[in-house]
Amino acid sequence: MMLQSLNSSSISIDQRQQKEDEYICSLDPLNADAVVKQIPAFNMDKNVEKLTSACYSLLPHPDRLESFDYYESVAAMRDLGFFLGSMKRHGVEPVEAVPELDYVLDVLGSKTNLPPRDTLLHYTSWNPVGFRRRTYTGTPDEDNLIQSVSMAMTPLIKAIFALEAMHSIRPDMPAFAACAKEAAGAFEGMIAGIVHTRKHVSVSYFAHELRLYFDPIHLHGKVYLGPGAVEMPMFVYDHLLWSSSNNDPAYVSFKETYLPYILPYLRDTYTAHCYKPSLLDIFGKFMLESELQQEEVWQAIREFRNLLNFLKSFRMPHKKIADNAYKAANGGEQQRTHGSGGYTPDILEVVLHHMKNAVADFENAVKYYESLPVR
């Protein structure tokens, strides 16, 4: 793929991101294609010694490491990441088993402006498909879990940018409803991701095997989370749509736990909207301050309602999957009571609770608007 095409100004952010993702997938800077193929067998045998020596064999010399550009650094982190999660799954702290990782992870983290370990992006969007696919287990369930997130990630970014655009459009302008429609259309990718998981990933297998690869690692006395789907920029989407003015400390802390794990430009989007009204606040206030009903606003109400309903279409089935998985883990040999993001599934109830309150506020504003005379 031509690198120059990534710099074209005629493509949207999500298209650019997709091209960048494809380019990263094509890279193999550590010459790891053959070595990573052996990881599932090593994991099946719980062979930490082989995992350790394979990991050693991939570590780049310092001058080679220095020469990596952003894209190569991302691809190198992706490949080392599979060793981090695998060693941890067998109870071994990766940097204790391979002390040289410490320096390499630091350099790769700083070259990419991401944490000094692999993230969900490395595991999914930057993971090649087909024969070069990297996995911990080599199972169809894992491949399908990766696919579920990959199919949702670019649409989610597209949806975030449609919401961002809505922040600078008045709700009575036709462009407001048009952007809401675009965001809702893109968000269907998130729903498709959950449907794919429900159909193709066994919750029991997730609970008893896959989840065990997503534990946090320790580096320089700090904890770095494993590449779980909780690292999706879904909280940025919520922030722009309905949650930027929510100041429940537990919920704000939940959102900000994952800020370092998302792309830097999405971190900026999140930060730019902190302490500012969400779209729902803006639209609600607009309706409550209006004096007449207008068709353009009704159009916006219909599209906005769709956006809110789609949130439920993602969250309700996702919560069911999460509850079932953590129920299935109970009594398991190495059960985990917490998600890879460090929270119990109860946090999903907290998010749902705030989301439902926000939707109720919206519906109250709509009721008021309905009572106004028609223009």
b/e code 285-310 from CB counts within 10 Å (16+ = b): ebbeebeebeebbebbbebbbebbeb
340 binds ligand HEM (CB under 6 A): yes
Q: At 212, list the tokens.
A: 């065990």
Minimal CA–CA distance to 174: which of 294, 13, 265, 90?
A: 294
Identify any residues that bridge with 93 across adjacent strands, giving them in sequence order: none
Name which of 206 and 310 has its Cβ closer to ligand HEM.
206
Name which of 61 and 199 has its Cβ closer to ligand HEM.
199
Binding mask of the shown chain, residues 90 to 129, with x at each position contacting ligand HEM by CB under 6 A: ----------------------------------------
**How many helices and strands, by DSSP H and E, does the chain display?**
18, 2
| Distance from C-alpha of 191 to C-alpha of 111, rounded to nearest angstrom | 33
- Residue recorded with tokens 């000094």: 116
Binding mask of the shown chain, residues 317 to 336, with x at each position contacting ligand HEM by CB under 6 A: -x--xx--x-----------
228 binds ligand HEM (CB under 6 A): yes
Binding mask of the shown chain, residues 196 to 225, with x at each position contacting ligand HEM by CB under 6 A: -x---x-x--x-------------------
Binding mask of the shown chain, residues 144 to 183, with x at each position contacting ligand HEM by CB under 6 A: ----xx--x-------------------------------
- Residue recorded with tokens 């997709």: 18
Q: Which helix (H) or strand (E) holds 121?
A: helix 120-123
CB of 255 to ligand HEM, least distance (A): 9
Phi-psi region at 100: left, alpha or beta (left = phi > 0; alpha = psi -120 to 50)? alpha
* Contact set for ligand HEM, span 179-198 (CB under 6 A): 190, 193-194, 197
By beta carbon distance, the residue nearest ligand HEM is: 339
Neighbours of 335 (CB within 10 A): 14
- Sites of contact with ligand HEM (CB under 6 A): 148-149, 152, 190, 193-194, 197, 201, 203, 206, 228-230, 232, 234, 315, 318, 321-322, 325, 338-343, 345, 347-348, 351
